[in-house]
A and B are shown apart, each in its own frame.
Chain A
Amino acid sequence: GEDVEQSLFLSVREGDSSVINCTYTDSSSTYLYWYKQEPGAGLQLLTYIFSNMDMKQDQRLTVLLNKKDKHLSLRIADTQTGDSAIYFCAESMADKLIFGTGTRLQVFP
């Protein structure tokens, strides 16, 4: 099967930057996605990047894509306690999304 891999946990201090990493498998994926899951809730689309882009910035969020290494990262600037959640990367494959294992981000004061 296809594997989209992420580290399971990340802990950062409030105000610092967070960087969540992801490696994916299908070099033909057209889009790559980041979803956020808050406690007890479903996933919400956070941002996405088209595969011909290297970087996308959206307010405090920066997505970096390294197609050669099949590596995707999400940087959250000035991380706040409200950013505490599980973050999933996902790649498009055969008209469906394949999700990573999720990274639990914990923000402490």
Chain B
Amino acid sequence: EPEVTQTPSHQVTQMGQEVILRCVPISNHLYFYWYRQILGQKVEFLVSFYNNEISEKSEIFDDQFSVERPDGSNFTLKIRSTKLEDSAMYFCASSENQNRGYTFGSGTRLTVV
């Protein structure tokens, strides 16, 4: 069964450093998303991406965040200057079209120290 692949599985970074989280969505999917989940809490929407541009973003997705699809397969989330409160599990997801279920990756656990 097709999978969404995320790397790395765990990233530890110093506060103030930039991090890039990487995702390979399912190849025939056209819609891409990033969500985050602080330990034990709800899954929070960050951003959706379609046709090489951001479709929608949440209040969490401020100027410190950016997304990119640098080639035909990767989808990345960059956090420019990490804060302690950015520590969370970050999930990438993709879907064939709107209003279809998402396929999630296994997540990247980001720890900011």
| A and B form one complex | no
Report B's interface with A, CB cutoff 8 A: none
